[in-house]
Amino acid sequence: MPPSKTSYVCLPCRASYKQSYDRSRRERVCPRCTGALTHVGSAFAAPPRRDRAAWRTLSVLLNAGIRFHQGCCGGQGYRPRTLSEVRERMAYAERAGVPYARALVLPEVP
């Protein structure tokens, strides 16, 4: 049985690649720009390359440490899809003193 594949992205190129996951091979290189690829998880669905706002949203999520790994029962959980959802959750994090990573995955802002 072949090893399962997981997603890696290059944010500057706005490109996503499915590759087999190998713990011994940590560093992945983008075939377009030779920059480092970021491991995002197996439950990731890439936005279209022309959708700059979606890639900016994805960039905020990845820089906050949020990934798209498949869960056993509940799935990956909520992830914001638009910049307005990200702004709303980041404003809440500032007001409430909550870490950004925790505020970004809230389904609804209190």
Please give the model's pTM, rounded to 2 decimal places.
Answer: 0.85
List the domain boundaries for the chain: 5-104
What are the Cα distances from residue 49, in Å, to 21, 68, 75?
A: 24, 18, 25
Average pLDDT over the chain reads 89
pLDDT of residue 24: 79
Instruction: Report, as an integer, the average pLDDT of 47-55.
Output: 95
pLDDT of residue 50: 96
Instruction: Report, as an integer, the average pLDDT of 58-67.
Output: 93
Instruction: Judge whether 91 and 83 are in contact, CB under 8 Å.
Output: no
Instruction: Judge whether 60 and 101 are in contact, CB under 8 Å.
Output: no
What are the Cα distances from residue 65, in Å, to 4, 9, 60, 105?
A: 23, 14, 9, 11
